[in-house]
Amino acid sequence: MKHLTTHHPAPRALGFAMPPEWAGHAATWMSWPADDQLWFGHLEAVRAEYARLVSTVARFERVELLLRDEESERDVRGRLDGGLDVEFHRVPLDDVWIRDNGPIFVRSGRNELALTNWKFNSWGGKFEFLNDDRVPEYVASQLGMGHWDLETVLEGGAIEVNGDGVALVTRSCLLTPTRNPGLSESGYAALLGAYLGIDKLLWLDGGLENDHTDGHIDTITRFTDSQTIVTSVESDRSDANHAVMERNLKALREMTDGEDRPFRVVELPLPAARLDGPEGRLPPTYANFYIGNGFVVVPQYGDPNDRTALDILTPLFPGREVIGLSSRAIIIGGGSFHCLTQQQPEGTVWSGDD
């Protein structure tokens, strides 16, 4: 297993690129919730929802579950059925958002799999997390996988790829001075091109109100295939999210793929009811779904739009079971199912030695 730095050839130069989420998975990596204070006293309800998520994913593919201590392992074993395809790992952890602090995998044309290890600074230094930035190194060591270590901050939820060289990001997140001061749009395009194989980087303005990620793309706008984009809309003109979502929708309708073809853009309503938590407005969204082997899990909030969201998303994923699961407690932490998962694509482990 080799540690590769910016002094070595970048992944793209060796034929690697980030696959789309709907490509086959070898496993899903997740981190078990353990800190009641971070969950504002709601840890029990969060764990109940989280256990249903783990159980659902494990019906379709292996779950590699990180556990921070003995109490977490006892709790997990008491909640999950023994026959599930779940592997436990004891790892120092701060929180659960492995989409953002975990590795981003890349795959070559020869089906070799490696990973990129970006710096995680808790969404621009909003929290004092000490351990979560070490997770990619742990995953690489467990897999014996060659990987690139970068000093650039990038959260997995901040980038959405279509598997055909196109990626979506938001200015409100990537251009914050607390992440990579001085890194411009063109600078990001070059960096993500070199390390994730992105040919065309498309920018939206912003995300949801009071989203502590500063507007991750995976909370508002997602690819469902290489040519189809589903994007959040807010019908209430008095809502603070309405204007931003309208600007995003207009921009998406004018965007094209790498061959200058327009995308198919599908509107996805935000939940109808406003949800508030200990730190003010929460950012519930149906766009934070997770795509796996033969399934898609979609967050539900006990909201009038829950069923509508499932009805919109189901035909966009032919051949996959679209499953609604409660995320009413989990959203108190600011994210949902996509934020809680990180796919390990299928592929042969690349050690970095050739």
Give the per-residue pLDDT at 196.
Answer: 98
Structure-token pair, residue 140: 């690489």
CA distance 124 to 225: 30
Q: How many residues does the chain have?
A: 354
pLDDT tens per residue across span 74-109: 999 999 988 899 999 999 999 999 999 999 999 999
**Which residues lie below 8 Å from residue 340, measured CB to CB, with a gap of 6+?**
30, 31, 50, 53, 96, 97, 98, 99, 290, 330
CA distance 189 to 198: 8
Q: Quick check: 124 and 100 in contact, CB under 8 A?
A: no
Give the per-residue pLDDT at 6.
Answer: 60
CATH class entry, domain 3-349 = alpha beta
CA distance 280 to 231: 24
Instruction: Calculate what percentage of the chain has a pLDDT beyond 70.
Output: 98
Structure-token pair, residue 252: 């998406």
CA distance 190 to 313: 33
CA distance 344 to 103: 9
Structure-token pair, residue 58: 């494990």
H-helix or E-strand spanning residue 230: strand 228-233
pLDDT tens per residue across span 111-128: 999 999 999 999 999 998
Give the per-residue pLDDT at 1.
Answer: 54
Burial 166-182 (b: 16+ CB within 10 A, else e): bbbbbbbbbbbeebbee
**Which residues lie below 8 Å from residue 17, measured CB to CB, with a gap of 6+?**
11, 106, 107, 108, 165, 196, 197, 198
Give the per-residue pLDDT at 335.
Answer: 97
- The rounded mean pLDDT for the chain is 96
8-state DSSP, 7? T
8-state DSSP, 256? B
CA distance 273 to 306: 11
Give the dihedral sign, CA 78/79/85/86: negative
Domain ranges of the chain: 3-349
CA distance 201 to 196: 11
Looking at the DSSP assignment, which residues form a beta bridge with residue 233?
Answer: 269
Binning pLDDT at 50, 70 and 90, where does residue 265 land?
very high
Distances (CA, A) of 50 to 7, 26, 64, 257, 295: 40, 21, 14, 36, 17
Residues marked active site are found at: 339
Give the per-residue pLDDT at 291.
Answer: 99
Give the per-residue pLDDT at 353.
Answer: 77
Q: Quick check: 30 and 336 in contact, CB under 8 A?
A: no
8-state DSSP, 353? -
Give the per-residue pLDDT at 5.
Answer: 63
pLDDT tens per residue across span 26-75: 999 999 999 999 999 999 999 999 999 999 999 999 999 999 999 999 99
pLDDT > 80? residue 354: no
Name which of 38, 154, 47, 31 is nearest 92 in CA terms: 31
pLDDT tens per residue across span 171-227: 999 999 999 999 999 999 999 999 999 999 999 999 999 999 999 999 999 999 999
Give the dihedral sign, CA 249/253/255/257: positive
- Residue 255, number of CB atoms within 10 A of its CB: 16
Binning pLDDT at 50, 70 and 90, where does residue 305 land?
very high
pLDDT > 90? residue 136: yes
Give the dihedral of Cα atoms 94, 81, 321, 283; nearest 10 deg: -30
* Beta-strand pair 16-17/280-281: unpaired
Looking at the DSSP assignment, which residues form a beta bridge with residue 88?
Answer: 65
Q: Once rounded to an integer, what is the mean pLDDT over residues 160-181?
A: 98
* Angle formed at CA 243 by CA 238 and CA 245, multiple of 5 degrees: 120
